[in-house]
Amino acid sequence: MRNNKIGHIIKEARRNKKITQADLADAMRISRGYLSDLENGRYIPNTEMMSRIAVRLDIDLNLLKNDVNTSKEVRECRVSLKQ
């Protein structure tokens, strides 16, 4: 679970819109399994996918992008501390 915060945002936005994983995945032309992996933090969506998700769920893209930037900063900090 590398990035469960992004997944949580996606899942909550989808649930608030009362959209099933299957319906959202079909609308976005991705597999339900991939969407599940995104929601569970197994994968981090790229910028294009984040944009598509934000548009489809009517959420601010920066909400997703800011979390990715924060996560990258935390990982970079951990790496520098190990050295």
Q: Greater confidence, 51 or 80?
A: 51
- Does 68 have pLDDT greater than 60? no
pTM: 0.74
Q: What's the pLDDT band for 67 if we cut at 50, 70, 90?
A: low
| Mean pLDDT along residues 28-54 | 94
- Does 40 have pLDDT greater than 90? yes
What is the DSSP secondary-structure string of 4-62? HHHHHHHHHHHHHTT--HHHHHHHHTS-HHHHHHHHTTSS---HHHHHHHHHHHT--HH
d(CA 65, CA 63): 6
